[in-house]
Amino acid sequence: MDTYKTISKPSEPILFKERKSKFYGYCFPVSDEETIKAHIEALRKEYPTANHVCYAWQMGIETKSYRANDDGEPNNSAGMPIYGQLQSFDVTNTLVAVVRVFGGTKLGVGGLISAYKEAAKLALENAKIITKVLQKQVSVIFEYSEMDIVMRLVKKHQLNIISQDLHLKCKIVLSVNKSDFKKTVKLLKAHHKLETKEID
């Protein structure tokens, strides 16, 4: 797969009410567990009267990892329904948190599952979901005299220049869609005056 979906920025909170309990749903773009911890701690401070801050996250593109946390609610009644919505919307590098402020009426496990699922769904519907293309980078080193050839290749194959250093000895870094990467590197290597190197 060349593309994946994620969210571009933290979403505005949504409020879902169920029998006087309030469920506030949030989405955050994340790339590491430290950021996740910081978001959860910030929500606990923002809602000092909240009984539970339940959440689920999914990270990674080719190999995904996830976690679901019930934060004291009955087992699998909060974190997993939230995680189910992350899967349903097919987003990664995303944290969905639902803050519950108890309203005095117990909802039962079925009611909790339904409420957390709905709050997570509304939060994701409220988030700006974007599609990103998986890319790899290659550096190309060449003599200044080869500039025309290189720029023609860049234009013809619609390659993205990430950086360029154009002196007597020139170096440019290109970003290429992952599925086209091998083909593009082969194409560049066919010009024996160009020195190509994959960047991990």
Domains of the chain: 3-132 (3.30.230.30), 134-199 (3.30.70.120)
Reported for 103-108, long-range contacts at CB under 8 A and 24+ positions apart, including other chains, are: 103/17, 103/18, 103/19, 103/20, 103/21, 103/22, 104/20, 105/19, 105/20, 105/21, 107/18, 107/19, 107/21
Each of the 200 residues of the chain gets a pLDDT tens digit; together they read 578 899 988 889 999 998 888 999 999 999 888 899 999 999 999 999 888 999 999 998 778 889 999 988 898 889 899 999 999 999 999 999 999 998 877 888 899 999 999 999 999 998 998 888 777 777 788 877 778 888 888 888 778 888 888 777 788 787 777 777 778 787 777 776 777 777 76
Give me the pLDDT at residue 42, please: 93
